[in-house]
Amino acid sequence: MHIPLLTTSIKLAALALISISSVACSHRTPVKPPKSKSIVSNEAYIPSLALLRRGNQELKEVALTIDDGPHDKWAPTILKALRDNHVHATFFVVGKKVKEHPELVKQMLADGNEVGNHSMNHPRLDSISLAKVKDEIVECHKTVFQETGYRMKLLRPPGLRYTEDILKLGKSLGYTTVEENIAVGDFIVVGDHTWYENNPGFPAHVAKVRFNVFKQLKNGAIIVIHDMPATAAALDSILKGIAERGYKVVTASEMLAHLKNSPVKVGP
Ligand SMILES: [Zn+2]
């Protein structure tokens, strides 16, 4: 019963293969199979690790998560697309970028979006000591709280690289870790150059990002996109296409609340 996980692994591997020279997520390290895949379970939510792997497959809903921001060039366009389409997303923000643009995080929250912890400096958490992992999570938490008064409860390790000890540490700090099931290659770079708007291949790349979302849509999937130029250009049409296909976009917390074994209490 591990087919969904296997499928995700194959898709991630395929994305790595189709990248032209290297793939990055705001950094320049090659994609490796996420450590998370070694956790053998097909449960949507694993209480002992506070790990959300996917949503309720009986519901035609997908969670939209947006990593690596806030970036002042693209976040405003992304936020406008969310407002225009009347949906909310979960932004996993990087603490050092929050310090640069706290006003964007305030706008995310003012618009009704959710904000989660993507560490202070975006290291691979499985490559540093557990004490340093704690610093990364706590520093990001403090930064967002100081800037906005908001207490984050959701964690996405950069590159989705984690160990069971990291999940348990996150849980002890009050966090639920959120996986991802639909990756779309919006962070693909060519050499040292990201796909910027002035690149001749940019429109085709935007179309590919959109296509990658639509072809993978399924009940309870968690989509990950990034605060980057192709995402900003594609998001409005992605959201319209998701609605046309009959899916509702929810935040990660809403997805968690809709699970049968949800730790979130709903109603009185
Ligand atoms: Zn990231």
The pLDDT of residue 237: 97
pLDDT at 141 over 80: yes
Q: From the CA of 159, how far away is ligand 1's center (Å)?
A: 6
Cβ–Cβ < 8 Å for 232, 74: yes
Residue-wise pLDDT tens digits, 149-160:
999 999 999 999
**Coil, strand, or helix at residue 130?**
helix
pLDDT at 119 over 60: yes
Q: What is the CA radius of gyration of the chain?
A: 17
Q: From the CA of 203, how far away is ligand 1's center (Å)?
A: 23
Strand partners, 177: 51, 155
Strand partners, 23: 188
How far apart CA 37 and CA 162 sit, in angstroms, is: 10
Q: From the CA of 26, how far away is ligand 1's center (Å)?
A: 7
Q: From the CA of 17, how far away is ligand 1's center (Å)?
A: 19
Q: From the CA of 104, how far away is ligand 1's center (Å)?
A: 17
Residue recorded with tokens 């694993």:
46
The end-to-end CA distance of the chain, in Å, is: 35
The pLDDT of residue 188: 63
How far apart CA 46 and CA 58 sit, in angstroms, is: 18
Which whole-number Å values give the CA distances from 139 to 1, 50, 120, 122, 153, in the listed order? 38, 20, 6, 12, 14
Structure token pair of residue 79: 């936020």
Among 74, 45, 97, 68, residue whose Cα is nearest residue 220: 45
Residue-wise pLDDT tens digits, 155-189:
999 999 999 999 999 999 999 999 999 988 787 65
What phi and psi, each to the nearest 5 degrees, are found at residue 195? Answer: -75, 90
Q: From the CA of 130, how far away is ligand 1's center (Å)?
A: 19
The pLDDT of residue 57: 95
Residue-wise pLDDT tens digits, 14-70:
333 333 333 334 443 334 444 555 566 778 999 999 999 999 999 999 999 999 999
**194 — pLDDT class (breaks 50, 70, 90):** low
CA angle 98, 104, 105 (to 5 degrees): 60
Cβ–Cβ < 8 Å for 226, 25: yes
CA atoms in the 13 A half-sphere facing the CB of 245: 19
**239 — pLDDT class (breaks 50, 70, 90):** very high
**258 — pLDDT class (breaks 50, 70, 90):** very high
Q: From the CA of 111, how far away is ligand 1's center (Å)?
A: 22
**213 — pLDDT class (breaks 50, 70, 90):** very high
pTM for the whole thing? Answer: 0.84
Cβ–Cβ < 8 Å for 57, 85: no
Q: From the CA of 266, how far away is ligand 1's center (Å)?
A: 30
CB neighbours of residue 151 within 10 Å: 10
Structure token pair of residue 157: 């390790």
Q: From the CA of 1, how far away is ligand 1's center (Å)?
A: 29
Q: Which fold has domain 3-28+49-243?
A: TIM Barrel (3.20.20)
**What's the whole-number mean pLDDT along residues 119-141?**
97
CA angle 205, 206, 207 (to 5 degrees): 90
**195 — pLDDT class (breaks 50, 70, 90):** low
Q: From the CA of 68, how far away is ligand 1's center (Å)?
A: 5
Q: From the CA of 263, how far away is ligand 1's center (Å)?
A: 26
**Percent of the chain clearing pLDDT 70 (strictly above):** 80
